[in-house]
Every structure is written in structure tokens, then in C-alpha cells.
A and B are shown apart, each in its own frame.
Chain A
Amino acid sequence: METLSSLADGFAIALTWQNLLLALLGCFLGTMMGALPGLGPSNGVAILIPLAFTLGLGATPSLILLTSVYYGAMYGGRISSILLNIPGDEPAMMTCLDGYPMAKAGRAGEALALSGIASFVGAFIATWGLILLAPQLVKIALLFGPAEYFALFTLAFATLGGVASTNQAKTAFAAAIGIGLATVGVDTQTGVPRFTFGEVHLYDGIDFLVAIVGLFALSEVFLFLEHRHGNSDASGHKVSIGRLMPSFALLKYCTPTMLRTSLLGFVAGVLPGAGASLGSFISYTMEKRLVDKEGTFGTGDPRGVAAPEAGNNAAAGGALVPMLALGVPGSGTTAVLLAVLLALNITPGPLLFSQQPDVVWGLIAALFIANFMLLAMNIPMIGLFTRVLLIPPRILMPIVAMVSFVGIYGISGSSFDLQVMIAFGVLGWILRKLDVPLVPIILGTLLGNAMENNLRRAITIDNGNWWTLIDSPLAIGLWTLAFIGFVLPIVFGRILKARMHMKRDDESSTVD
């Protein structure tokens, strides 16, 4: 009951004209970014954060805008998967398998509409899951002391590479770089400058927004320049959509699949280190095992379209649970959303639910609203978004670069920050070439200070005794999970990744 009344309060907050308009804008931009290959949820949100920030939007409106983009991108990714056999973003990879054959058989419209509905079901169920699960997780999180938090942060980093990570050394490397960057600046506990080399600009530390936009958005521009991949993938393809509404019988046929994969995707999203890409992968694989008796999966089976789409949207919602309740994101895009919260001076975690319930519940209500908007937008207006695919990267990428510059310049008005951003862009490009994941770097710059503070607090409380870190059953449990999460991919990662990536291009390491 308490939950429902909080939710009602949330709707009261979200249902203002400004917030509705922002949600609408976010959904539209998100779907577009998801649809365009080269722009995914994480770089889409990354470009928009500085803008939301400089426009002086309040905490709830900014979050509504950016989470709408996040949900929207999850919807949009399927469009180019189905029409062009090129995933618009990584989670939409599995949708290619059955979506494209359906399109070739002249059922593109049906596939798009069905996947839109599946996305809706997945996101809808996941948002309910968020409402039910997050407060429970908060109760557990309230038992955490600094030592447990330190272990939790370690767990987040250890599992961030994901089950599909091929090279855990590179994940660890990236995390260490990120945390190392966070230690630049004046030490918060003793006030001594660290790693500043006398440069005054560095006393405040490195602005994580500058790092994020550089790493995610600019590195993408460099990749396109390197390949001189300037023409639209859609040019030359004849995009015909055909009949738009799937028949009722087809929907009924796919409903069990959607419900099962939504639950599965949600769980995958909540677990650390999984995220939306894995959510759609295991959803597809499970459905194939479960219902594909005639071997039609992979040849344009509608259930093969519904499964990964319900799965990845549910996982996207599920990934918000640990981010909001614990302050520890489990995937790339939620890491970027964490940056939004931190930029707005909101510390996510258990206290957020008790101290700023309006932010949490306003956000959750907005997710529901955005979800309905997206459903409405994605079926009748699908023709508009398919036209977006015709925008060639040679026009789009300069716009991405320039908007990134505008956002960062808007925050600080300093040319120095722009140069730092370019440096991060170059770094991001090189690291992506070397297959080093970028998300741990971002998470490191975001969480590094909190991690250090918890470590020092825990040890100071116990008078300098380092063993305090493994003093409670809870902490020991977290350390064990962290260890397993780090070691497991070394054993299984290669196999899983090979299977997941059979159908993908070399697009990005900004997973999610």
C-alpha cells in the first residue's frame, strides 16, 4: 500500500507539462539515437548530460529526460536490426537473427510492430519489478557499513566486464585507470593535493562529464573517420515496411514468450555484470531451447523477434534497480545515468529513497509514462524513424562532435576542458582499438572517490585495522561474489562471447 501511495505521489510529480514534454522529447531522441548505428544508449545519454545540466533543469526533470532517452534507445535499436540486419546498438544484436529474415519475407512492418509491443511488455514488467524490488534492496543496503560498501564497489568493478568479457586483465586495467583518474585533485580527507603536478586546473579533479563525453562520443567520431565510413548503411536498401499491425492471433502466439523473457531479462538486468546485451542473448537462447521445436528460429520466427526485444528492455529496467538502490550501476548506460545523478549532486543509494522520495518516485512514474509514449510513438510513427536511418554518418558524426563541444563548453566555458575532452576522445579511440572496455573507466572516475572514502572510513573506525574489511559475514559474502564474478568469465567468457558476437559488427566496446 505504501508503495502504491508513493507511486501516486510520483505521478503527481511527473504529470506536469514540463516533465511530460521532456519525456516526449527524450523518447523521440532516444528512439532516434537507438536507431542510428554508431549512436547507442550510452553515448546518446552521454552527449545529452552536459546539455541537461547547463539548461539548469532540476534533478527530477533532468532524470526524466535522460531515462526516457535510455528507454527510447532500447526501443530504437531494433529498427535497423530488422530492416538492415545491422544492430542499431549492441543489445539489439539478437533481434537481427529473426527480425531480418522476417523483413526479407515482406513482414518488416509486422516485425517492427511486434518488437515494439515486446519492448513495451518487457519495459512495463521491469518497471514493476523495479518498484517491488528496489525498496527491498534498500532495506538490505541500510545494513551496509563502510567496509561492506567498499566490498560492494569492488564487486561492481569485478563483475563489470560481464560474463561475456574475454580479457579480464583489460577490464581490471580500465577500472584502475578510472579510479586513478578519480584520485587526481585535492584529497577530501586531508586536503593535500594529489597528482596535480602544480596545475591549478587539476585541483578540482578531472570533471567526469568531460571524460564521459570524450570517451564515448568523440571516440566514435574518430572510429568513423578512420574507416571513412561516411555513407548511410541504408542507402541502396529498399526499405519497404508492409503491413503494420500484427494480427491478434500472432500476438497471442507470442505472449507466453514475451512474459517469460521479460522476467528473465529483468533478472539479468538486476544481476551485476549482465546488462541489456546479455539479457537479450539469454532470452533468445532460452526461448530457442524452450519453444523452437520445428527449428524455425533464425528463419524469421516472430517469437525470435519478441524474445530478445522483451529481454533487453526488461534488462534495461532491471539495471536501474542496483543503480538507484545501491548507487552501484551494473551496466554501461546505467553508469552514465549515475553520472547524471552525481552531476546533480544527488547520491543514489538507500538514503535517496528516504531523503528524496520525490526524485525516485517521480522518475519511476516517468518511466511508466515514457513507456506508453514509446509504444504510441513506435508503432504508428515507425516510418519516420526508418527514414532517420537514411541520414549518412558523414553528416551525423560532425553534428555529434559539435554538440559534444557545445555541451562541455556550456558547463565550464573553458577551452582547457575542451582540450581535455579531445584527449579523452583519442584515448577512447586507442583503447577501443585494443579492445579495452570503456565502461570501467567511467565507473572508476565516478565511484573512485566514494570507494576510497569508504575504505578509509572503515579502517579509521577500527583504529587502523585493515582486517575490518572482512569482518562481517555480509562483507565476506560480497568479496566472495566479487571473486567468483571476476574469475568466472576467464573460464566461460570466450565461449559465450563467441556465440553472442557471431552476428555483430565491430561497432563498439561501449557495451549496452
Chain B
Amino acid sequence: MSDRIFGLVGLLLSIGYAWAALAIQESFLSDAVGPKAFPLIIATVLGLASLAIIIRPDASPEWPSLVRFLEVGAAILVMVLYAMFLPELGFVVATALAATYLTWRLGTRPLSSVVSGCLTSAGIYVVFHLVLGLSLAKGPFGF
């Protein structure tokens, strides 16, 4: 069943892709093939592959329970927040928070997670910024 849905999504994607390819504005100065032909070939391959997946689906994978789904969803949210607030908070603070969260959710006790998160952040800062000289996001405190 999962594969059928997946194939359907793929089919819609290929139709959308082909439609977007047809909508490409052609330049008056074009080569013999033009910018549309290759994407249309790819859209065809994508569509055919999706059809094949719909017709002969594999057995469904073991999907996680709702709780585990929320777990992954929450981690995604934390990462997106990390990406958004990285420039505001600065590298060290943001990374310590995100690493603490992930370590905690992977089954470390809360207090050890804080320690591990801070150490991860500090370690990366020392190795990549102080030793290797990579420029990391500067926050209000300058690190």
C-alpha cells in the first residue's frame, strides 16, 4: 500500500514536472533541442517508473508508530528552528541547545544530555573555529 501511494505521488510529480517544463519561456536564440526536451524525457522516465511502482508494489515497510512519528517530526522542527535562529543566537548557544535535545531524545538522561550537548558544541567550536579557522555564525555574544 505504501508503494502505491508513493507511486501515485511520483506520478503527480512527473505530471507537474512535465507541465512546468512545457511552461518554460523559450529564448528566441535557441539550440536545436531547446530547454524543454530533456526535462520532458526525464518526466517520462519518472512517470513510467512511478507507474511500474504502482503496478508492482513491494511489501510495505514497517512504519513507526504514531509516537515515533511525532518524535521524528519534533526533531525536524528542532532542526528547522536551529537553522532559523542560528544567526540570531550564535553558533555555540544554538548548537548546544539542538545537540542537547537530540541527545536527550536518543535516550540519554536529561542531565547527561545537557553536559553532552554543551561539550559537543564547545568541541565543534574549538576544532572548527579556533583550530581550523572556519567562520561560524556569530551571535550577540560574539560566538
* A415 interface residue per 8 A CB criterion: yes
Q: How far is the CA of A362 from the CA of B37 in the complex (A)?
A: 41
Verify B86–A409 contact, CB threshold 8 A: yes
Decide if B136 touches A180 in the complex (CB within 8 Å): no
Q: Which of A166, A180, A229 has the most CB of B within 10 A?
A: A180
Residue of B at shortest CB range from A431? B6
A180: B residues at CB distance < 8 A: 17, 39, 42-43, 46
A3 is an interface residue with CB less than 8 A from chain B? no
Cβ-defined contact, B53 with A173, below 8 A = yes
The listed residue (A225, A409, A434) touching B105 by CB distance below 8 A is: A225
CB-defined contacts of A195 to chain B, threshold 8 Å: 17, 20-21, 39
Asked if A504 CB lies within 8 Å of chain B CBs, one says: no
Contacting pair B106 A419 (CB below 8 A): no
Instruction: Determine whether B12 belongs to the interface, using a CB cutoff of 8 Å to chain A.
Output: no
Q: In the complex, what residue of chain B is closest to A419 when comparing beta carbons?
A: B83
Closest B residue, CB atoms, query A175: B45
- For the complex, is A342 an interface residue (Cβ under 8 Å from B)? no
Query: Majority SS of interface residues in chain B?
Result: helix
Measured in the bound complex, the distance between the Cα atoms of B102 and A221 in whole Å is 9
Please indicate the chain A residues that have their CB under 8 angstroms from the CB of B72 in the complex. 222, 225-226, 429
Do A169 and B108 have beta carbons less than 8 Å apart? no
Q: Are A406 and B136 in contact (CB under 8 A)?
A: yes
B136 to A: closest C-beta gap in Å: 7
Q: Which of A63-71, A100-108, A304-312, A451-459 has 4 or more CB atoms under 8 Å from chain B?
A: A451-459
Q: Are A426 and B76 in contact (CB under 8 A)?
A: yes
Task: Tell me how many residues of B have a C-beta within 8 Å of chain A.
Answer: 69
Mark A146-170 against chain B: 1 for CB-CB distance below 8 A, else 0: 0000000000000000000011011
A51 CB to closest chain B CB (Å) equals 8
Interface: A230 (CB within 8 A): yes
* A29 CB, min distance to chain B CBs, angstroms: 12
Q: B66-117: which have CB < 8 Å to A?
A: 68, 71-72, 75-76, 79-80, 82-84, 86-87, 91, 95, 98-99, 102-103, 105-108, 116-117
Flag if A433 contacts B63 (CB, 8 Å).
yes
Report the bound CA distance from A406 to B25 in whole Å: 38
| B42 close to A398 (CB less than 8 A) | no
Q: CA of A463 to CA of B33 in the docked complex: distance in angstroms?
A: 10
Beta-carbon contact of B107 and A422 below 8 Å: no
Nearest CB on B from A48, distance (A): 12
A401: contacting residue among B35, B38, B102, B134, CB under 8 A: B102
Binding site for B on A (CB under 8 A): 51, 54-55, 166-167, 169-170, 172-173, 175-177, 179-180, 183, 187, 189-195, 218, 221-222, 224-231, 393-395, 397-399, 401-403, 405-406, 409-410, 413, 415, 418-419, 422, 425-426, 429, 433-435, 451-452, 455-456, 459-460, 463-464
Please provide the 10 A-B residue pairs with the shortest distance between their CB atoms, ordered closest to farther: A230-B107, A394-B106, A418-B83, A169-B52, A464-B32, A230-B106, A176-B46, A398-B102, A173-B49, A172-B49
Report which B residues bind A (CB closer than 8 A).
Answer: 2-3, 6, 10, 14, 17, 20-21, 24-27, 29-35, 38-39, 42-43, 45-46, 48-50, 52-53, 56, 58, 61, 63-64, 68, 71-72, 75-76, 79-80, 82-84, 86-87, 91, 95, 98-99, 102-103, 105-108, 116-117, 120-121, 124, 128, 132-137
Query: What are 14 of the A-B contact pairs (CB < 8 Å)?
Result: A173-B49, A173-B53, A180-B42, A180-B43, A189-B35, A192-B35, A194-B20, A225-B72, A226-B64, A398-B99, A399-B120, A410-B135, A434-B61, A456-B33
